[in-house]
Chains A and B, each alone.
Chain A
């Protein structure tokens, strides 16, 4: 049976060689931004399901200390990529190395380095939380006090102490997700891969999980996929957007936000009924390209786009503040925007736009 697995991987490597020159270029753009040693190196990774290419020659690497946010619309290939890196799916071409172990050639060695939370946090529902974690510990070759210690600390980190003796099937969605998390971090892996780790959690639990990820980040390479863009800003040191199987953006959250049309825009919210007059006064300020007006109830929000993005945003805020004082406007809010991730995300991943925007 083991031989069947090796035989197949041989074929995949053959095909891989053909694609290598392509993928080298792709991976060149993203060598470890944080400067640590790369723990995950993905190279020309491709997955085809029949005629459909789910993941198309993806290449990037993740260094120790990095928390990589993996973004993309549903069906973009996020989960498929994670499934390949963790050895659940065999790549059609390309490979990934985890702590130096090739996921195709030495699957088990690579898998020992990985803690993985699959999408939906599947578990054996008929087992109790303790039984399940004990099983994982045994499979991970932890035994005796070593296993007890690992289970205790994972249970503590994910706050599962109250449900240890309950069958997993009877747990709420939030608890089940945390059981999945506990399972993933049980053996203190150098590489942590989590598919939507905060999905189904309430805001408090989300906060706790983010804190947990933050605590572990220093000595691990962490990859999380998420739909929640605020999460990227909150915990990720780097974000990667993929669309239809290809990487369309790769950078720190700040870098991605700087690609937003809102980058350096100034947002001003006024109370009262000065809308038309105020808009005209604002438009007359120097360096303004355009203004968007959005009334909401008793207030109106003006978004001012500077003529040359990336320049003089603080000057513009000052100018607006001065104008507001002179005109005696009721200022409710005034700030310079860093950019909006959701807008960048939408622009990069809407069909048609994706390919052209690629880095």
Chain B
């Protein structure tokens, strides 16, 4: 537990030691605002809620989260510091979890800094703040999902660009697996059971359910399971590299 905390603190501090954190947060907030107000025509919608705002989250995460996660392990491998990390008395799970939690906390900080949106909507109208909170919660869990995927894929390569591109691709599949782009491919031949299973992997489906203000345990369980699965895969990937 000490080791987990030490790694968490180091990693989180690492984001702020370089301009990375600043640049990421600025761009995150800027695109978030631009998408919501221009692309999403927030004012014209005349709705005092944050549905439009949240609807852009999966698509923004799709590209921004792999930018955080790509360095998690690939960077350690490239710089050689992984040899230091893995020869320290740190259990593998603590290293994997510590890195992931730090990245998740960082994305949580970026998300929390969108609070002016919440102030705006409360100023303009009278939204259901429970629904808004649920949206934030859902968005946070979804970010965790993308991060876990990216973390695992970062562990299989020392090249950050590869880690980024593959993470975006895999994240994209997980994002849209409920949409026709994926389901149509299976619809003609796969049984309905398989189809709905594939669709149930979709981030969008689960996220939209939460943003409607219904925090269904199943949606939370979905994201937690997804995160756990990808982190275990990440641990296995790191361990396999040890075996050479």
Contact = CB atoms under 8 A, between A and B. Distances in A.
Interface in A79-119: 83, 86-90, 92, 108-109, 111-112, 114, 116, 118-119
Contacts of A123: 81, 84
A5 B95 CA distance: 13
B115 interface: no
Interface stretch (B43-51, B57-65, B180-188, B235-243): B235-243
A112 B96 CA distance: 19
A167 to B, nearest CB: 7
B123 to A, nearest CB: 39
B130 interface: no
B89 interface: yes
Interface residues of A, number: 39
B116 interface: no
B2 A141 contact: yes
B80 A183 contact: no
B86 A87 contact: yes
B89 A2 contact: no
B191 interface: no
A49 B243 contact: no
A8 interface: yes
Interface residues of B, number: 34
Contacts of B242: 88-90
A35 interface: no
Given A2-B92, A86-B87, A8 B239 contact: yes
Contact of B83 (A2, A122, A139, A140): A122
Contacts of A183: 84
A331 interface: no
Contacts of B236: 1, 4
Nearest to B80: A122
B79 interface: yes
B16 to A, nearest CB: 10
Contact of A135 (B10, B231, B239): B10
Contact of A88 (B79, B86, B231): B86
B27 interface: no
B244 A124 contact: no
Main secondary structure of the interface of B (DSSP, over half): helix
A138 interface: yes
A263 interface: no
A123 B14 CA distance: 13
B198 interface: no
Given A122-B83, A127-B17, A183-B84, A111 B89 contact: yes
B22 to A, nearest CB: 14
Given A122-B80, A138-B6, A167-B17, A8 B243 contact: yes
B91 A131 contact: no
Given A90-B243, A138-B9, A2 B93 contact: yes
Interface string A65-77: 0000000000000
B25 to A, nearest CB: 17
B232 A1 contact: yes
A139 B86 contact: no
B193 interface: no
Interface in B1-30: 2-3, 5-7, 9-10, 13-14, 17-18
User: When A and B form their complex, which 7 residue pairs have the shortest distance between CB atoms, in order from nearest?
Assistant: A1-B235, A122-B80, A138-B6, A111-B89, A86-B87, A1-B93, A118-B83
Interface of B: 2-3, 5-7, 9-10, 13-14, 17-18, 79-84, 86-93, 96, 231-232, 235-236, 239, 242-244
7 contacts: A1-B92, A88-B83, A112-B89, A122-B82, A126-B17, A127-B10, A127-B17
